Structure 1
Amino acid sequence: MTQDLELYRPNVGVVLFHGDGRVWLGRRASTPGPHNWQFPQGGVDPGEELEIAARRELAEETGATAASFLGRTHDWVAYDFPPGHGGSKALRGWKGQKQVWFAFRFEGRDEDFNLTSHGEPEFDGWRWAFLEEAAELIVPFKRAAYERVVDAFGRFAAPRGVE
């Protein structure tokens, strides 16, 4: 599918891997389940380098900063907002979001996570999970994008069911 990516808001996403190969998932604040879990993500400021944006978003949304680079997607991963989506980004004329995803290895301790470290929290809970679970837990309109991320970073992940 060919998309005009100029109509998509530039964004970054972060998959934070625990040393055992599980990944960090946050539960979106004030969002009913079951599809309310996601990876940290956010917009790219004008002129901001993508990896710097990813590290900034990780710190703002989780409080964690101790992370080493593992890899990234080379192409944009885009998704459309669903029809009738009334979010602020859709209201500003964006068709959806285009994302470059980063994989980082968490080098800190669980106590480093502070969901209220940067103003209004994006997440109200978090957990370590298996990478393969992520696409099942995200809102359906982002599922195909998450499946691409799972494929891209599967080499860093623990097999599901192994702790």
Structure 2
Amino acid sequence: MPDKPYRPNVGIALFNGAGLVLIGRRFRDDGPEIILPGLEWQMPQGGIDADENPREAVMRELWEETGVSRAEHLGETDWMNYEFPPYDGPPTHRLAKFRGQRQKWFALRYIGRDDEIDPLAPRNGQPAEFDTWRWERLDRVADLVVPFRRDVYRAVARLFAEFAGPATG
């Protein structure tokens, strides 16, 4: 795997006014993606297109995966990496082409209404990734994701802990 590159990616910790983050439940039949029973949840994330900067990518990915277009920037991390687990499926899938993901995480404050969130509608020709969503405490999310993402999620929880509480001001 060391000869494969990392896939450039953004991750999104979307906080509501109560300081909870949005998580989505991945479809079980989402192609060759690795999903373990009880660990189907994750925060929105996605690839950075060629010639796209991470701040543009984060808003595009957030909209594509959730329908959310109204969010304020709170903070961002440096780049973090995680490795994909071994994979022997179709060679065109990202798990076969990349070693893992190189992510920049963004903390955003949602300024819309819950009824505006719709993870099921396809956008920009992208199929839905989540079949449902909910608000969750940031410090609990790492326990709900597949093991290969947990270290990054724990780092994100530490780095964005200041946003995990009721919004002030």
- The number of equivalent residue pairs is 154
| Alignment match, 1:128 | 135
| Alignment match, 1:7 | 5
Are 2:19 and 1:17 equivalent residues in the alignment?
A: no
What SS is found at the alignment partner of 1:14?
strand
2: CA distance between counterparts of 1:116 and 1:95?
29
Structure 1, residues 73-98: CA drift from partner, whole Å, max 9, x if none? 0x211100112364711222x11001
Q: Which runs of 5+ in 1 are unaligned?
A: none
Are 2:47 and 1:43 equivalent residues in the alignment?
A: yes
Identity between Structure 1 and Structure 2 (%): 46
Superposition map of 1:1-163 within 5 A? 7-30=5-28, 31=35, 33-73=37-77, 75-84=78-87, 86=89, 88-92=93-97, 94-117=98-121, 118=123, 119-158=126-165
1: CA distance between counterparts of 2:147 and 2:89?
16
* Structure 1, 82-91 or 113-122: larger mean CA deviation: 82-91
What SS is found at the alignment partner of 1:19?
coil
Moved over 6 A (4+): none
Two-structure CA RMSD over aligned residues (Å):
1.9
TM-score scaled by length of structure 2: 0.85
2: CA distance between counterparts of 1:145 and 1:102?
13
Q: Which runs of 5+ in 2 are unaligned?
A: 29-34
TM-score scaled by length of structure 1: 0.88
1: CA distance between counterparts of 2:148 and 2:25?
17
What SS is found at the alignment partner of 1:136?
helix
Q: 1:85 to 1:153 in 2, by over 3 A?
A: farther
Task: Kindly indicate whether the alpha-carbon contact (under 8 Å) linking 2:87 and 2:95 is maintained by their aligned counterparts in 1.
Answer: no
